[in-house]
């Protein structure tokens, strides 16, 4: 009696509402459903939470204000004064990834950020946006970012290609970090769940490990959203302040 453990089956995309225009498949999938759910929940938290405009906030207004303050503090500390105009972008990024990660923890749900194309789209937007911001602000001097101060000219020949490479690798590391964390977490949950189901009464041990893994996954979900947002702030600070 062998229950087949297929840990990667949870990542298949299913079409909830099939929809084709011409030859193009633009069905409403379970991934799209969870992305709209994340957006709706964030909008509800912020709009409905702050509807009362109370001076002493109640619970929901407190939540909305705390999330605002957390991201605003992060942007101001890391980007400095010029970062005020990027706050909406970083806030959207942080809240979307946070809610998408948390919604994926619901049993039988689907983790949107465990698809490399989703995380790569977010990371590509960050990378291209930050580069454009740097070029618009500094023009040709933007290339000075790759030439560190006080380095002898001989070392520059080696250092500049390395700096360039580590700059161009940023969208990939940013996206793969989030994607690999989510993929690994959910795959481990599925594998231990498979063990728990297939060995009868002894299954209480993998079940215990699974419970601890869910706790770790909650931490990782919040942490990965925070890391994505703070790295965006650091890249923005690099582009705006050029060091």
Partner 1 sequence: MDLSSAKMIGAGLACIALVGAGIGIGNVFSALINSVARNPAAQGQVQPFAFLGFALAEATGLFGLAIAFLILFVF
Backbone CA torsion sign across 165, 176, 237, 92: positive
Using CA atoms, how far residue 212 sits from 76, 118, 215, 217, in Å, is: 35, 27, 5, 9
Candidate list 68, 227, 238, 242; residue touching partner 1; CB under 8 A: 227
Q: How far is the CB of 28 from partner 1 (least distance, A)?
A: 26
Whose Cβ is closer to partner 1: residue 46's or residue 220's? 220
State the nearest-atom distance from the C-beta of 175 to partner 1, in Å.
11
| Number of residues binding to partner 1, judged by CB under 8 A | 16
Contact pattern for partner 1 over residues 11 through 40, marking x by CB under 8 A:
------------------------------
Is 137 an interacting residue with respect to partner 1 (CB under 8 A)?
no
Q: Which stretch binds partner 1 (CB under 8 A): 55-63, 135-143, 218-226, 235-243?
A: 218-226
Nearest residue (CB) to partner 1, 143 versus 230: 230
Measured distance CA(133)–CA(205) in Å, rounded? 52
Which residue's entry shows tokens 């000219």? Answer: 153
- Which residues, other chains included, contact 37 with Cβ-Cβ below 8 Å and sequence gap of 6+? 103
Q: Which of 44, 158, 214, 223 binds partner 1 (CB under 8 A)?
A: 223
Q: How far apart are CA 93 and CA 236, in angstroms?
A: 14
**C-alpha span between 52 and 44 (Å, rounded):** 13
C-alpha to C-alpha distance for 192 and 195, rounded to whole angstroms: 5
Quote the CA–CA distance of 65 and 78 in Å, as a whole number.
20
Q: Smallest gap, in angstroms, from Cβ of residue 11 to partner 1?
A: 10
72/206 Cα distance (integer angstroms): 41
Closer by beta carbon to partner 1, 131 or else 224: 224
**Which residues lie closer than 8 Å to 196 by C-beta, 6 or more apart?**
203, 204, 206, 207, 210
Question: Which lies closer to partner 1 via its Cβ, residue 74 or residue 103?
Answer: 74
Quote the least distance from Cβ 93 to partner 1, whole Å.
15
- How far is residue 223's CA from residue 213's CA, in Å, rounded to a whole number? 15
Among 226, 238, 241, 242, interactor with partner 1 by CB under 8 A: 226
Residue placing its CB nearer to partner 1 in the complex, 49 or 104: 104
Measured CA to CA, the distance from residue 75 to residue 87 in angstroms comes to: 6
Give 56 or 117: the residue with its C-beta nearer to partner 1.
Answer: 117
Q: State the binding string over 160-199 for partner 1 (x if CB under 8 A, else -).
A: -------------x--xx-xxx-xx--x------------
Q: Which residues of the shown chain bind partner 1 in the complex (CB under 8 A)?
A: 8, 173, 176-177, 179-181, 183-184, 187, 220, 223-224, 226-227, 230
């Amino acid at each position: 009696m062998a229950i087949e453990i297929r840990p990667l089956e949870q990542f298949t995309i299913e079409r909830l509402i099939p929809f084709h225009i011409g030859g193009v498949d633009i069905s409403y999938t379970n991934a799209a459903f969870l992305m709209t759910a994340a957006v709706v929940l964030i909008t509800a938290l912020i709009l409905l939470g702050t509807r009362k405009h109370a001076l002493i906030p109640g619970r929901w207004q407190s939540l909305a204000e705390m999330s605002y303050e957390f991201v605003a503090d992060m942007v101001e500390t890391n980007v400095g004064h010029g970062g005020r105009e990027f706050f909406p972008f970083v806030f959207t990024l942080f809240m979307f990834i946070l809610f998408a990660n948390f919604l994926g923890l619901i049993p039988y749900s689907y983790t949107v950020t465990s698809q490399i194309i989703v995380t790569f789209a977010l990371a590509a937007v960050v990378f291209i946006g930050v580069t454009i911001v740097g070029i618009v602000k500094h023009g040709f001097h933007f290339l000075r970012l790759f030439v560190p101060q006080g380095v002898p000219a001989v070392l520059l020949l080696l250092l500049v290609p390395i700096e360039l490479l580590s700059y161009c690798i940023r969208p990939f590391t940013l996206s793969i970090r989030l994607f690999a964390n989510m993929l690994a977490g959910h795959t481990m949950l599925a594998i231990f769940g498979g063990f728990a189901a297939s060995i009868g009464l002894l299954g209480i041990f993998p079940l215990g490990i699974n419970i601890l893994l869910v706790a770790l996954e909650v931490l990782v979900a919040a942490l990965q959203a925070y890391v994505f947002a703070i790295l965006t702030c650091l890249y923005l600070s690099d582009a705006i302040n050029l060091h």
